Each structure stands twice: as structure tokens, then as C-alpha cells.
Chains A and B, each alone.
Chain A
Amino acid sequence: MNVLAVHTPYSVPAGMMEALQVTLLVLVAAGATAVVLIRARVRQVLMLSIYGVLLAVLFLAFQAPDVTLSELAVGAVALPIVLLLALAKVRKREE
């Protein structure tokens, strides 16, 4: 399918959008690898938070602002909070 010629006040050249999407996809793949390979507890949760922000920016580049909001609120804030609380509970019992 050809590139549609959509001219809104927010349009960018199609090549720039493609380059942005490819960059973000590579960053997301690297972020996922980093999240899995880090084994230290709290550091992994922080890396998950960064991965959530990277995913949110990728979703924005895919023209999905709703999913961006959800992923930001959940993946970068709510999930790390819940994970850190569970880790604190478990570590306290190990003392």
C-alpha cells in the first residue's frame, strides 16, 4: 500500500517517522534483554520502569496515545511500586 498523503498540522515526513520507529524498536529489544539479564532485585525493578517508559514512547510513535497513557501509568509507576513492596516483604523475612 502506498504512503497515504495525510496533511494535518502535526504531520512529519514519512521517512522521519520510520527512522524514529526503527530506533525505538531497537531500544525496546535492548531494554527487554536488559530486564531479563539483570538478576539483582531492585536494579531489575528499576530497569523494568525504564523499559515501561521506552514502550510508552514506542506506542506513541505507533500513533496510539491511549495505550501510551496506560503503559506509562501502569508499567512505569504502578507495577514497580507493587514489585518493590513484595520484594520488601520477602527480604524482611529473610533477615
Chain B
Amino acid sequence: MTPGQRRWIFLAAGTGLVLFYLSGLLGLPAFGSYPGPYGPAILRVAVAQTNATGVVSAINFDYRGFDTVGEEFILFAAATGVAVVLRRLRGERERPAVDEAADRHVPPTSSAVRMVALLFTGPVVLVGWWLASHAQASPSGGFQGGVVLATAFVLIYLSGEFLVFKRFSPADLTDVVEAVGAGGFAALGVAAVLMGLPYLTNFLPLGQVPGAVSSSGTIALISFFVGLEVAAAFILIVGELLEQTLLIRQGRP
């Protein structure tokens, strides 16, 4: 089948699919008139029940915590998959990391990039940490904070050499941190079971002021663990890809 034929067949079938999809979507209530009972029911009770003013995080880590455990383990499996798939193939060898810059025909990093990256590394770590630990108060949470934290490590790579990046995030430490994050989340659920409550019940004291940092029981703690895990997963992924690009070379001439 030539590419031209493929394109025409797709245009015929794809138009039909999209029109069918659209006719289904047009049966939904008009945009802006959400009638469903689930949303308003949760909004009515969320702040009183969990002392968390960030209702979305309360849903993520308390009301629908079971779904979030599943999503987090998808992330864990994907990061592990990247590490497994990108292992060294037969016939490849790893160049010694010392002369990795010797014969790369790329211009050296400009001073402006290095300075800006160095300047921003500290604030980005602070912002990521703040995001991961304030899930119950404002629009933040473990997932966003973790990704921002991982970005700080990429800034370290941009401001220095790849070896500096590896020294700041050795593979063993990253693996341990990721395991602690994922395991901590599951362990909090199991701790609730050991106390005789259903899995992932919010069993810690809820605090006095809604939305304070130390309020809302397990929500803040789970968000912290999730932040650790997401940051470690993304650092692992970026580290593996950097190693592939910079260190691993084909052995055959």
C-alpha cells in the first residue's frame, strides 16, 4: 500500500470516525451546564471532612486515593521500563566517562546559559519543594512538585557537565528515593488497614485550621511521598537518556 493510498483511506475512515465521535459528544449537556451529582456533593463536604482547602488534592489523595495509587505505579513501571529497555546491547561498549567531551563536535556551553542555569537551580528546588508540601492548601501537589524538582536537576546538567549531573543524582540514590516514595504511599494505606480501617483511610489528626501546612491528615504526607517518587522517576528517565546519548557507543567499527 503506497503512502498516497494510505492517506486517502485514512481520510475516508478518519472523517467517519471523527463525525461519529462528534455526534456522541454533542449529546452531552451544553458546555457550562454541568449537572452531575458527584461534583457538587464532594464540594459540599470536602472542606469540613478533611480540613483541606485544596479540594482537588483532597480528591486525589483521599476520596479517590485508590486511583492515585494505580497511577503512581504506572509511573513507577514506566521509569523502570525505561531503565530496563535502555540497557547496553550486545556489541556496544561504554566509553570511559572521563573523555566524553573529547571528540564531540559541539560548541562549549556559553557562559550565559551556565550562569542562568546556576542562578535558577536554587529557586526551582525551593518552588518544587513548596509545591509538593502544600497540596492541601492551594493549587499544588505531589505530581507538579515532583516534576519541577526533576527540572532543577536538568538545570544542573545544563550549567555543568554530565558528570556533575551524575554526581548529584547517582543511580543508586535515585532508585532508593523512588522506591521510598512509591512504597511510602502504599505503606500509608497498609497502616490504615493494620489499624482496622479500610485501605487508605485518612487516620492522622486533621489539624485545626483548614489549609494549614500540618492539617488534613494523610493528604499532606501522601503528597510529599508522591513528590519524591515523581521527581526520582523523571531524574531516572532523563539520566538514562543522557547516558545513551553521551556514553554508550557502538562497538563495531
Q: Which residues of A contact B (CB under 8 A)?
A: 1, 65-66, 68-70, 73-74, 77-78, 81-82, 85-86, 88-89, 92-93
Contacts and interface: CB of A to CB of B under 8 A. Distances in A.
Contacts of B131: 69
Interface residues of B, number: 25
Interface stretch (B114-122, B135-143, B178-186): B135-143
Contact of B245 (A65, A73, A85): A85
A83 B125 CA distance: 23
Given A69-B140, A70-B144, A78 B151 contact: yes
Contacts of B191: none
10 contacts: A1-B32, A66-B56, A66-B57, A68-B139, A69-B131, A73-B144, A78-B150, A82-B237, A82-B241, A85-B238
A82 B147 CA distance: 13
B151 A73 contact: yes
A86 to B, nearest CB: 6
A73 B241 contact: no
- The residue among B141, B143, B234, B241 with the most chain A CB atoms within 10 A of its own CB is B241
Interface in B10-61: 32-33, 35, 54, 56-57
B242 interface: yes
Interface of B: 32-33, 35, 54, 56-57, 131, 139-141, 143-144, 147-148, 150-151, 154, 234, 237-238, 241-242, 244-245, 250
B139 to A, nearest CB: 4
Contacts of B238: 81-82, 85
Contacts of A69: 131, 139-140, 144
Contacts of B241: 82, 85-86, 89
Contact of B242 (A1, A68, A85): A85
A77 to B, nearest CB: 5
B83 to A, nearest CB: 14
B244 A77 contact: no
Given A86-B241, A88-B245, 6 more contacts: A66-B144, A68-B139, A69-B144, A78-B147, A78-B150, A89-B244
A69 B140 CA distance: 8
Nearest to B105: A95
Residue among A66, A78, A82 facing the most chain B CB atoms (10 A cut-off):
A66
Nearest to A77: B151
A50 B122 CA distance: 25
A74 B231 CA distance: 12
B154 A81 contact: yes
Nearest to A93: B250
A81 B32 CA distance: 36
A78 B139 contact: no
B195 to A, nearest CB: 30
Given A65-B139, A69-B131, A85-B245, A78 B234 contact: yes
A33 B54 CA distance: 35
